[in-house]
Structure 1
Amino acid sequence: MTAAFSSRRLARLLSALALIALAACSSTPREDDAKKSAEKLYAEAKEDMASGAWDQAIKTLERVEGRAAGTLLAQQAQLDIGYAQWKTNEKAKALSTLDRFVKVHPSSPGVDYALYLRGLINFNDNLGLLGFLAGQSLTDRDQQASRDAYQSFRQLVEQFPDSRYADDARVRMDYIVNSLAEYEVHVARYYLRRGALLAAANRAQQAVQAYPQAPAGEEALFIMTEAYDRLGLDKLRDDARRVLTTNFPNSRFVQPALAQAKPWWKLW
């Protein structure tokens, strides 16, 4: 009886010690975090970001932001939170974080990056701007993300022309302008093929007026010429044709031989 009793006591003692050990282990990270400096936490967050542990990085960065409030480190943590939120496909949260940063810290040295990242998020959100292989109707596509990206990039290059991000922003702005012009021309072509002549002319005119330097202006002018011709608006047709031949003398749309070889609707 004594031996059995001692064995049971020993077993209970060992179980109790195991539970104490587990409790101590589970509480260690929280206690350690409380003792860590903001800099140490930030270093850990960067390690999480490097390894793709975005959710964990966000949690740690939020602690950094609170612990280092009022410092440049807190501002950097907020910017990194926006980036990490983007990487976890939380676009709306990321944009909200960056908008808040620009509003609260207008004189921060990180504003140029915040604007660049805000533009980049919208730019990539609408990447494949003209990728119509998915079968979506041209008139159903929303180009607001591209316009928002353009506004962010423009604000960046206007306020911080010497920023390290300015040159890339300018390149992306050119791409966006050309893409938006292409979009308008695609919609105009869509209308023209379906006989919506006035809508086609108006959409093509919008492309020419809003994006005068875009290469898509060549086809836009051609669509205007064709739409006005079929509408019987001879003066407007002649005006559009004159602008087309003056600005694009070698255009495939005005080459007589090509025009005779193929009907206009097969030029695309």
Structure 2
Amino acid sequence: MKYKTITGLLAITLLAGCSSSKKVVPDVPPSQLYSESQESLQSGSWQTAIEKLEALDSRYPFGAYSEQVQLNLIYAYYKSDDLAMALASIERFIRLNPTHPKMDWVLYMRGLTYMAQDTNFMQSLFNVDRSDRDPEPAKSAFADFKKLLERYPNSQYAADAQKRMYSLKNRLADYDLATADFYLRRKAWIAAINRAQEIQKTYPDTEAARKSLSIELDAYKKLGLTESAQRTEQLMKLNPLP
């Protein structure tokens, strides 16, 4: 009975996938198609906008709307949570338009897209701590926001990028803290100390840096390094947790 139920669910899923296949976009003038895509974007009809923009992109790759169509596709893919397509579109745009005047926005969108990749749906839904999850998307987002600030310090997106970098810095520090704690629990004392000190060096103004001191202290005590443990205790007194 369970096998039949699963089979039925799979069949429904396959039918749903077939029924949601993309519609054929009418062959209308590019100006009309672009206008319709703009209306879909403004109303938040992301999938409809994507269908029309993709049609424009494939039918008129060198048309008057070409660059803006690519930019709009980046935004529509991002808003529809098709992050892989958003990143692919961003890479394509950067390759074809390396000096475009809206490159600050493109970098900003790539940072946002990597941040969205880093977000875990189940974590958001149930508020589950997953600081030990793969930090690579967060690192990529941080690098893009940093690049935006370095290249376009007067960009209208700079202030928000800086705020997001602060959040990402704490996210990356928490990951390293979870790693240091993992080493401590596995009795890899030297590895725990090295990771804790790396946190303190790279992210000195984070809560994770202060928490890492207790991991470092435990490891020193396990190794019998009394002087190092005492120095760490002094640091803990100078950098108390809130």
Contact 1:76–1:110 (8 Å) recurs in 2: no
RMSD: 2.8
The residue aligned with 2:33 is: 41
Q: Does 1:202 align with 2:204?
A: no
The residue aligned with 1:76 is: 68
Q: Does 1:67 align with 2:60?
A: yes
Query: Which among 135, 143, 146 is matched to residue 143 of structure 1?
Result: 135
Residue 209 of structure 1 aligns to which amino acid in structure 2? K
- Per the TM alignment, residue 122 of structure 1 is displaced from its structure 2 partner at its CA by 1.1
The alpha-carbon distance between structure 1 residues 138 and 117, as it changes in their structure 2 partners (threshold 3 A), is: closer
TM-score, structure 2 normalization: 0.77
Residue 174 of structure 1 aligns to which amino acid in structure 2? Y
Whose Rg is larger? 1
- Tell me the alpha carbon deviations over residues 118-159 of structure 1, each in whole angstroms, 9 at most, x when there is no partner: 100111221369x596878865x2010100110111111111
Which residues in structure 2 correspond to 1:64-143 (within 5 Å)? 64-65=56-57, 66-67=59-60, 69=62, 71=64, 73-127=65-119, 131=123, 141-143=133-135
Rounded Cα–Cα distance in structure 2 between residues aligned with 1:70 and 1:42: 11
The residue aligned with 1:181 is: 173
Rounded Cα–Cα distance in structure 1 between residues aligned with 2:127 and 2:159: 32
- Tell me the alpha carbon deviations over residues 173-209 of structure 1, each in whole angstroms, 9 at most, x when there is no partner: 0110112112211332343345443332222122112
Contact 2:131–2:174 (8 Å) recurs in 1: no
Unaligned runs of 5+ in 1: 1-28, 254-268
Percent identity over the alignment is: 33
Contact 2:104–2:152 (8 Å) recurs in 1: yes
Query: Which among 182, 190, 211 is matched to residue 219 of structure 1?
Result: 211
Residue 197 of structure 2 aligns to which amino acid in structure 1? Q
- Per the TM alignment, residue 95 of structure 1 is displaced from its structure 2 partner at its CA by 0.4
Rounded Cα–Cα distance in structure 2 between residues aligned with 1:106 and 1:180: 29
The residue aligned with 1:4 is: none
Residue 26 of structure 2 aligns to which amino acid in structure 1? R
- Per the TM alignment, residue 41 of structure 1 is displaced from its structure 2 partner at its CA by 1.9
TM-score, structure 1 normalization: 0.70
- Tell me the alpha carbon deviations over residues 47-98 of structure 1, each in whole angstroms, 9 at most, x when there is no partner: 2233443333223213434537265x32221011122222333212210110
Contact 1:138–1:190 (8 Å) recurs in 2: no
Query: Which among 26, 30, 33 is matched to residue 26 of structure 2?
Result: 30
Size of the aligned set, in residue pairs, is 215
Residue 64 of structure 1 aligns to which amino acid in structure 2? L
- Per the TM alignment, residue 111 of structure 1 is displaced from its structure 2 partner at its CA by 0.8
- Per the TM alignment, residue 43 of structure 1 is displaced from its structure 2 partner at its CA by 1.9
The residue aligned with 2:149 is: 157
Residue 60 of structure 2 aligns to which amino acid in structure 1? R
